[in-house]
Structure 1
């Protein structure tokens, strides 16, 4: 099939690479200009560079809604558009233009975790599996019929970086498998159960800020979700920002006020956690590695030279 590809960052790069290695003919690529957004500088393999290496015309757009772009798409005469990690709204006259519409590839198990940063949100929320979904685009974001979907388990120590590597390897089989079904003439696919749908916003600095009212298990997953190269989860100690690089749920249960620097437990320093910490029934979060505001990384036991005081959301 004649394919126009919309994509950005490593997700788009992997999609284009899979298309180039397939029997399909990529006739035009549309991608975003490079961005200074913290999350868009991570996993930033260039779609434009890969397309140009293979002699494929490239258009750079923030939004695909101008007349020149529409004219170029019409001239390309695609059988299908394939999109992955396109960051802005694609208007109906664009996604409906090809004979088979537009196949969107999304790194979650739709209908859950539509929108942005699905792997990070899924890890924070304790999901047992994550995956990649290829669906036909319709008027609602990430809501069209599912053509192909594959899942991988979330391990007990997995970070968001681990999940990225697990799921990015699913892009090629999910995308090319879905195109194979469409090319073979299949037109009836799995409708999404919209009662199960969830939609998440882009992550920002505020989303990495630790709230000590959360249960320790949720905070431990937040730390793993904000693993390198993502911005680290952080709190404040004595008025200065303190990044939490590694932590575990404490073995003991600790009572008091959330955020209290309380007790050495093995190689960790336990922080009281949970909105109902006053009951004494909660596990704490045992910090094991931190980074100070001036960039020093050290064991939490070396940073906290005395117990007492509080970790806070703000300076």
Structure 2
């Protein structure tokens, strides 16, 4: 079996490795140049390609349509997308002789769209996972080919959960590869009405609103904790990144639960929230750092 792979991030690295291990011939990888303004804390698809002598390119989104003749000439059995960040045009998807498949970081149909791990934590979910699905023009809308679930612990950050999802993605590939190698693509309906679509997140979305419940603030902190941009609040005229919080208590008796926002009591830092509950800020630092 021959494939063209669109890939980036840890999921891209790990799933590409699984394809190679299974004996799929990867004729071309399409990936991204790292953004110098981004905190690149994840594995490099380009580096993996160099190590395995796989041809790779890094086109811009506007150049993707120009790849159609090249990909058509390769005549891939499959096209795979593993955390590739641009929408892949339908003309490219149509180049796959058997199927075009995408790995998404949620249990579809829940959390279609961007930043699925971050959104799942932000909404207090206790489970997410990885889903391999048929690619269509509409994002994350095609039939489900395989899924694997992971738990989300009450104090786990997006980075913690992403590591689990990355392993789940490899597990999905491992489970479906035998069928794909025979030219069979398992399918079950992706019932979009049972899920929702979410857009991308910006650093400004990390602002803490202390009128929310303590759990909502705790979930925001977990969802965007570094190496993501971080939740933030103002304290004594300075913007502070809140990196780690706890709901476990106990709380000091002198804490004023009627005054929303940051309070420092007995050399401990707390955030009092709209439900008159407080969380402890275990780690924070000036945004300038």
Q: Mark the CA change 1:55 to 1:293 in structure 2 (over 3 Å): closer, same or farther.
A: closer
Q: Superposition pairs for residues 130-169 of structure 1, below 5 Å?
A: 130-169=128-167
Cα deviation 1:4-41 (Å, max 9, x = unaligned): 100112221112111111121111111112213536x2
Cα deviation 1:222-265 (Å, max 9, x = unaligned): 22222332222110112211121222225569643432x4473x
SS in 1 for 2:22: coil
SS in 2 for 1:168: helix
Partners of 2:147 and 2:172 within 8 A in 1: yes
Partners of 1:251 and 1:283 within 8 A in 2: no
Q: Which one is further off, 177-186 or 210-219?
A: 177-186
Cα deviation 1:31-70 (Å, max 9, x = unaligned): 112213536x231x22122112222211211227555411
Cα deviation 1:75-124 (Å, max 9, x = unaligned): 11100001111111111111121111211011111111122221111111
Name stretches of at least 5 consecutive residues in structure 1 with no aligned partner: 296-315
1:217 alignment partner in structure 2: 215
Q: 1:258 aligns with which of 247, 255, 260?
A: 260
CA separation in 2, counterparts of 1:7 and 1:32? 8
Partners of 1:64 and 1:90 within 8 A in 2: no
CA separation in 2, counterparts of 1:141 and 1:294? 36
TM-score normalized by the length of structure 2: 0.90
CA separation in 1, counterparts of 2:186 and 2:180? 9
Partners of 2:270 and 2:279 within 8 A in 1: yes
**RMSD after superposition:** 2.2
Partners of 2:148 and 2:169 within 8 A in 1: no
2:12 alignment partner in structure 1: 12
CA separation in 2, counterparts of 1:90 and 1:164? 23
1:24 alignment partner in structure 2: 24
CA separation in 1, counterparts of 2:25 and 2:201? 35
Q: Mark the CA change 1:85 to 1:294 in structure 2 (over 3 Å): closer, same or farther.
A: closer
TM-score normalized by the length of structure 1: 0.83
Q: Superposition pairs for residues 235-250 of structure 1, below 5 Å?
A: 235-249=233-247, 250=249
Q: Superposition pairs for residues 1-315 of structure 1, below 5 Å?
A: 1-38=1-38, 41-43=40-42, 45-63=43-61, 65-66=63-64, 68-187=66-185, 189-249=187-247, 250-251=249-250, 255-259=257-261, 261-262=262-263, 264=265, 268-274=268-274, 277=275, 282-293=276-287, 295=289
Q: Mark the CA change 1:24 to 1:155 in structure 2 (over 3 Å): closer, same or farther.
A: same
CA separation in 2, counterparts of 1:270 and 1:162? 24
